[in-house]
Amino acid sequence: MNSKGSSNDSAPSSAGRPARGGARNDQDLPAKLSVANALATNGYFVRTNVGLSATTTRGIADVTDIDVLGIRHDITFTPETIAVSCKSGEAKSLSPAKEIFYLRGVLDYVHARTGIVAFTKKRVPPHLRDLARQLDIQVLARNEVEEWCQNIANGLPAPDYFTLARYDGHQTAWQHDRTLADYLKTDYWFHFDFRNLQNLIVHFRKLAPKLAGNEPWHAVQFHDTAAHFALTLFDLCRHIRLLGEGNTVEITAAYLFGGPPTFKARRDLYTKVQQLLSSTGVLAPDGPMLPPLEPPYTAPLAELAIRCVKRPQAATLIPTILQDATWRALGALGTPAREDTNYLAAEKLTQDLLDFLKTATGAPWSPKI
């Protein structure tokens, strides 16, 4: 995470289009990958260098970035989010106090409960650690960073996702389509709400015809996109749980338009336009009508959401199953095979989500879990 002028010797992460060799020039990258591996081992869906920006171009619309972001959900589809800022610099210009305050603001923005600032080379005095404690932030300094990573992964099988070679492979796989890659890295997180469901499908629909399943990067992009889709689907699931499981198609349609008031206003306008066109003869009584207001995938999306609502323990595993499939395609060992009933149900729901994306976007292929 980079506050303005936070450090002169800790290279900023790039939330936009990565420069050639950019990963190698990121001084903080080893720490980011260690933290990311530790969180993934503990069942988090993990992203690195997440850009909180309204556009994919760094500049006036840019807010900040998050070095490591981990998300997992409970059975009510409420996210448990952890954000980590990694700093490998040791110059006087690197201010722990500034980084602590900056992270507190970012935590509030992304609704994260836990924040960690990791200084791999810089000593942090006790009074600043106490400041962080009062702001619900943990400070790690020097060898504490690696100890923390080892402790939270202690006794758990390591999936070995975030090695430098595989991280580079992941970056290379996304070079085949920078539009969707930049969207998933920046404004997907800036607008982390109902808009992402339709926006993600629109972006993926442009890429989908290229994904025939005959190249390793096809699986990487499909699984990675599906994992992000699952995070937004869970927001819809939480919405359905709060409103009840009555007319889920109607609830889903309203969600896609930002809520019942907005949806009602759009539907009223749609009805008035249709009546006007019919009264002026533009639309013949027996002729073609206006296209439906709701996207054609609304009913299948509602059906997928209600399946997840009925099996929350299984559904909440979907992002990590897709994460595992993404990194396995890049050569990772992945998580050990499981045969328990809940995990098998989770794999079935994951496949349902992949098949939904295939149908909704017109993709010629979808991977099999």
**pLDDT of amino acid 14:** 40
225 pLDDT higher than 50: yes
The widest CA-to-CA distance across the chain, in whole angstroms, is 78
DSSP 48-106: EEEEEESSSSSSTTEEEEEEEEEEEE-TT--EEEEEEEEE---STT--HHHHHHHHHHH
Cβ pair 70, 19 in contact under 8 A: no
145 pLDDT higher than 60: yes
**pLDDT of amino acid 30:** 94
Query: Where do the H-state alpha helices sit in the chain?
Result: 29-41, 96-109, 126-134, 143-152, 164-173, 178-185, 187-190, 195-207, 216-243, 248-256, 260-279, 298-310, 312-315, 318-328, 341-361
Mean pLDDT score of the chain, rounded to an integer? 89
Cβ pair 316, 74 in contact under 8 A: yes
Confidence of residue 2 (pLDDT cuts 50, 70, 90): low
Residue 353 phi/psi, 5° resolution? -65, -45
260-300 residue pLDDT tens: 999 999 999 998 998 888 888 887 777 777 888 999 999 99
170 pLDDT higher than 70: yes
Closest CA to 317 of 353, 347, 352, 356: 347
pTM confidence score: 0.88
Distance CA 86, CA 71 (A): 17
Confidence of residue 91 (pLDDT cuts 50, 70, 90): confident
Name the token pair of 312: 């929350």
16 pLDDT higher than 50: no
Confidence of residue 53 (pLDDT cuts 50, 70, 90): low
Closest CA to 2 of 111, 130, 129, 89: 89
Cβ pair 72, 80 in contact under 8 A: yes
293-343 residue pLDDT tens: 999 999 999 999 999 999 999 999 999 999 999 999 999 999 998 989 999
12 pLDDT higher than 60: no
Residue boundaries of the structural domains of the chain: 29-158, 193-247+294-361
CATH architecture for residues 29-158: 3-Layer(aba) Sandwich (3.40)
